Amino acid sequence: MLKVSYCNTSAQLPHDLSGVLGTLCFVPDIPEALIASGTAMQIMMPVLDGQTHLFEMFHADNALTTQVEGDICYRFNEHLLFGVVTLDEARFASSAESSPLQAASRSAYEQIFALLDSHDFPFVLRFWNYMADINSVSHELERYRQFNLGRQQAFSAKEKERAGNVPAACALGASKGPLTIAFLAGRTPSLPIENPRQVSAYDYPVQYGPRSPLFSRASVAPLGDASLFFLSGTASIVGHETLHPNDVAAQTEESLTNVEAVLDEACRKTGKQFELASLDYIVYIRHPTDLPAIKNIMERRIGPNLKAAYVQADICRSDLLVEIEGSAELS
Ligand code: 3EB
């Protein structure tokens, strides 16, 4: 029902894109054919590790319909819907109550929820959030925290659950580009997984911003006989605190220990086997010079079957140097 694949060059892209639900493109220029598919999302982040391109593709096995609604481009079949929202903050006025980024984030999420209501896809399996300058401060608040305010407003307005059962996600800073949010939704609920080593993000105390982030640490999405596992962005946070602020090696080790804890919890909740080596990873790295140290630890901890792409990004807390996300198909 849904497969994930990765390509490192445009030449590796499949010729027939009719079954591609959506593509995350870490490329300076998206190939024409992918743009024509309707749901190619451009992420302005350099790919490290000698690669210049990276595509993460979601493939469906039924015929797809492609449509546009407001700021959302989306493709769907009877089981799944993948959409991309792209919003230029400059369209949103600054007011005493809200910065442009907060208003854009709220609008993006409200549009997503309205679209999913109208097409009867009640369950989001995964959100991807990308914005420029995620750590800079304006309107007296870090931009990631402005985004969290807007996201919370949209969840409250739609009376969505704001604790316990929220989708897996990531939120990262690009060098430039509009607020860009992708989402994958279905018609059956996914199982949210939390990390016993960490306070759930929706319960973070107010020192991390006036409204907390809304995401689960991972989710297991049922897809017919199989399921898809989404590991949210995972960083060096224990409890709610950042550990090892200036030590990228220790942050990488701690992040992987968190990934293991999430996999153990997923195993406990589903009875299925989850191993570090069964995931495909995207590793977001703040400073490109940290690549060798991070890669080394990934290779040592995960072993010879490691599949990972390394991308330069800003992480949503300024003291975080690395964040790891992943996905796996489970049979
Ligand atoms: C953290 O654990 C790191 O705001 O949607 C990871 C995944 C993080 C998703 C989000 C933020 C988000 O708090 C940051």
Q: Is 323 a catalytic residue?
A: yes
User: How many Å lie between the centroid of ligand 1 and the Cα of residue 234?
Assistant: 7
pTM: 0.97
Residue to probe by mutation, ligand 1, list 127, 135, 148, 170, most atoms within 8 Å of CB = 170
Question: Which among 249, 256, 253, 234 is positioned nearest to 315, based on CA atoms?
Answer: 234
Q: Does the beta carbon of 313 lie inside 6 Å of ligand 1? A: no
Express each pLDDT in 203-252 by its tens digit. Answer: 999 999 999 999 999 999 988 888 999 999 999 999 999 999 999 999 99
Higher pLDDT, 163 or 323: 323
What whole-number distance in Å separates Cα of residue 236 and Cα of residue 245? 9
Q: Does the beta carbon of 281 lie inside 6 Å of ligand 1? A: no
Is the pLDDT at 125 greater than 90, yes or no?
yes
**Could you say which DSSP state residue 289 is in?**
G
Q: Where are the alpha helices (DSSP H) in 129-173?
A: 143-157
pLDDT of residue 28: 86
Q: What domain range includes position 33?
A: 2-330
What whole-number distance in Å separates Cα of residue 325 and Cα of residue 307? 12
Cβ-Cβ contacts under 8 Å for 186 (sequence gap 6 or more): 79, 80, 81, 121, 123, 125, 221, 223
Residue whose pair of structure tokens reads 């993006």 in the numeric block: 108
pLDDT of residue 225: 83
User: How many Å lie between the centroid of ligand 1 and the Cα of residue 12?
Assistant: 31
pLDDT of residue 326: 98
Query: 3-class SS at 104?
Result: helix
Judge contact between 57 and 5, C-beta under 8 A.
Answer: yes
User: How many Å lie between the centroid of ligand 1 and the Cα of residue 212?
Assistant: 10
**Could you say which DSSP state residue 206 is in?**
G
pLDDT of residue 219: 97
The least confident of 27-31, 113-117, 282-286 is 27-31
Q: Does the beta carbon of 237 lie inside 6 Å of ligand 1? A: yes
Express each pLDDT in 22-50 by its tens digit. Answer: 999 999 889 999 999 889 999 999 999 98
Query: 3-class SS at 223?
Result: strand
Nearest atom in ligand 1 to the alpha carbon of residue 144 is 4
Polymer length in residues for the chain:
331
What whole-number distance in Å separates Cα of residue 92 and Cα of residue 156? 20
Higher pLDDT, 12 or 319: 319
pLDDT of residue 164: 80
Express each pLDDT in 79-96 by its tens digit. Answer: 999 999 999 999 999 998
Q: Does the beta carbon of 201 lie inside 6 Å of ligand 1? A: yes
What whole-number distance in Å separates Cα of residue 148 and Cα of residue 206? 12
Across residues 256-265, what is the average pLDDT? 98
What whole-number distance in Å separates Cα of residue 245 and Cα of residue 224? 42
What whole-number distance in Å separates Cα of residue 153 and Cα of residue 103? 9
What whole-number distance in Å separates Cα of residue 284 and Cα of residue 228? 21
Tokens in use for 211? 């409204």
Query: 3-class SS at 311?
Result: strand
What whole-number distance in Å separates Cα of residue 71 and Cα of residue 73? 7
User: How many Å lie between the centroid of ligand 1 and the Cα of residue 312?
Assistant: 16
CATH code: domain of residue 34: 3.30.1330.40
What integer best gives the mean pLDDT of the chain?
Answer: 95
Q: Does the beta carbon of 131 lie inside 6 Å of ligand 1? A: no
Query: 3-class SS at 196?
Result: coil
The least confident of 1-15, 143-157, 175-189 is 1-15
Total domain count for the chain? 1
Is the pLDDT at 72 greater than 90, yes or no?
yes
Q: Does the beta carbon of 169 lie inside 6 Å of ligand 1? A: yes
